[in-house]
Chain A
Amino acid sequence: MEITSATPPGPPPPRKTSRAGDRIFLGLSRGSGILLLVIMAAIAVFLTVRATSALSKNEGDFFTTFEWAANSTPPKFGIAVLAFGTVVSSLIAMLIAVPVAIGIALFISHYAPRKLAAPLSYVIDLLAAVPSIVYGLWGALFLVPHLGGLYTWLNDYFGWTGIFAYQGGAARSLFTIGILLAIMILPIVTSVSREVFLQAPKMHEEAALALGATRWEVIRMSVLPFGRSGVISASMLGLGRALGETMAVATVLSPSFTIGKSLLDPGGGTFAQNIASSFKESGEIGKDALIASGLVLFVLTLLVNGAARLIIARRKEYTA
């Protein structure tokens, strides 16, 4: 500021340094933006290159083979079990977490006494920061031993469906993973939904109130319709996290390359968990095979996150 506070009379002197400064600064900042794009492209390219080299040596079918023997000769591996485990555990997580998160978000935005609401949303934000490995440790050493009773009960009443049959033993199954992932994505889904609910226009809520609506009817008439797309994108963001979660799954699951009939059977695996668990025993081809499975995970999360972003963008246009 000091250079220009007093403007000398006459035409302003040419400012060579500042023009150069502008050019350098623009170059640096634009360069950073381009670097980000380059990194994204590089991720896709490098993963694809390594993945193709692995796939060319694969004796099994990458999509339908039910085993992971990438280090034996000849290597034979397929992602069927991993894809199943990843999708199923994430879906269970969504089924549990989304309704609960909507409930908590509504609790904070419309039900809790004001004195409770502010600290509560603060705590929820803090919980989003708990590292996933700590969730994993808690899941393995606390949650797993405590789920036996629940699973026995599920088996007693819903065992006939097949998917809730429980043979006893440690509860280190896909369903447990689903519960743990649900707890982990709860904060993010909650905090995004809460923001959307808080933005719901007061005037529409008052309109509903003035018609003689109960609190629930106000929410159903004016808050939920307004927040629907926001909740959907929040859930997608949560889904993206659940799909890619690594260490918590790796700690809790007892992996095996089978797809059990029951969700409560121990075993199964997810993309991320398999990479972390089998990395250290992998040779060159084994690592490339893991990279190939990572590429699938990458594409999967790209699709989910892209969809979430599209919904958010559409919503912005809609409300603007």
Chain B
Amino acid sequence: MAKRIDVSGLNAYYGTHKAIEDISMTVEPRSVTAFIGPSGCGKSTFLRTLNRMHEVTPGGRVEGKVMLDDENLYGSGVDPVAVRRTVGMVFQRPNPFPTMSIYENVVAGVRLNGGRYRKSELDGIVEKSLKGANLWNEVKDRLNKPGAGLSGGQQQRLCIARAIAVEPQVLLMDEPCSALDPISTLAIEDLIGELKERFTIVIVTHNMQQAARVSDRTAFFNLAGVGQPGKLIEIDDTERIFSNPSVQATEDYISGRFG
């Protein structure tokens, strides 16, 4: 179910501007890897290169290799649509489709794949995904109501349910809690802990406590200055990063001396 990600020598550009430079790292399967770093250091950009969403931005361009087990996401003949189907994504702001019901939202991705599903199969997928996102008990009586009527935290869990409904190999989360209140945040963090048993999870966060709470490994990104590309400073076990990082800049950032 979950796959290992192996990145080597990755650069990403916006037009002529180099946003991130020469990133190499390994993301272990069935674990949570957190990306931290100051604003503009390219951690979100890097995340979006992992499911080929970066190239959707006008002028977006990527160099380098991202291996998903033994397949290069940027190899010739690789279909970006298939990549995004395999590597799911949850965004900063909850974005359920406003015109669809909760049920329709969950099966939106499944439906795309065109297979003919019986109603009972779809029902099964909806129940399993919503349970997987810890949302089932809250919405099981109003599956046909619009998804936009839920609270922010519920919407975000609906988006997670929608992402895991297609059984991806990897789940990318781009600051999934930054638009949520503390209680909803806690619910999502608990959920991440459960999801890592089935998926490889990569999460970008601005909140260092959150990184410390949910992740197994943490990567610190930084940039030399405004207009300079972001770089990976170090990646290590979360415990190590937060207690005894090997680079001074990491320690400065974590102890709040900048950023």
Contact = CB atoms under 8 A, between A and B. Distances in A.
B91 A206 contact: yes
Contacts of A203: 91, 93, 95
B13 interface: no
B84 A209 contact: yes
Contacts of B159: 207
Given A203-B91, A203-B93, A211 B99 contact: no
B91 A217 contact: no
Interface string A198-218: 000101101111111110010
Instruction: State which size class the interface on A falls in.
Output: 10 to 19
A207 B93 contact: no
A204 B97 contact: yes
Contacts of A221: 97, 108
Interface stretch (B50-58, B119-127, B131-139, B209-217): B50-58
Contacts, number: 64
Given A203-B95, A221-B97, A210 B163 contact: yes
Nearest to B56: A209
B29 interface: no
A210 B51 contact: yes
Contacts of B86: 212
Contacts of A206: 53, 56, 89, 91, 95
B166 interface: yes
B88 interface: yes
B166 A212 contact: yes
B98 A204 contact: yes
B112 interface: yes
Interface centre among A207, A212, A214 (most CB of B within 10 A): A212
Contacts of B95: 201, 203-204, 206-207
Interface residues of B, number: 27
Interface in A246-262: none
A226 interface: yes
Contacts of A146: none
Interface in A235-288: none
Contact of A211 (B58, B84, B93, B98): B84
Contacts of B3: none
Contacts of B51: 210
Interface in A184-232: 201, 203-204, 206-214, 217, 221-222, 225-226
Main secondary structure of the interface of A (DSSP, over half): helix
Contact of A209 (B53, B97, B162, B163): B53
Contact of A114 (B58, B89, B98): B58
B87 to A, nearest CB: 8
Contacts of A201: 95
B186 interface: no
A211 B56 contact: no
B97 A212 contact: no
Interface centre among A203, A211, A217 (most CB of B within 10 A): A211
A123 to B, nearest CB: 21
Contacts of A204: 95, 97-98
B88 A207 contact: no
Contact of B112 (A114, A212, A222, A225): A212
Contacts of B89: 206, 210
Minimum-distance CB pairs A-B, first 6: A212-B85, A211-B109, A210-B89, A225-B99, A203-B95, A212-B84
Interface of A: 114, 201, 203-204, 206-214, 217, 221-222, 225-226
11 contacts: A203-B91, A204-B97, A206-B56, A206-B95, A207-B96, A208-B97, A209-B53, A211-B163, A212-B83, A212-B112, A221-B97
Given A211-B166, A212-B85, A212-B109, 16 more contacts: A203-B91, A206-B56, A206-B91, A207-B91, A207-B96, A208-B97, A209-B53, A209-B84, A210-B89, A211-B85, A211-B162, A212-B112, A212-B113, A212-B166, A214-B81, A221-B97
Interface of B: 51, 53, 56, 58, 81-86, 88-89, 91, 93, 95-99, 108-109, 112-113, 159, 162-163, 166
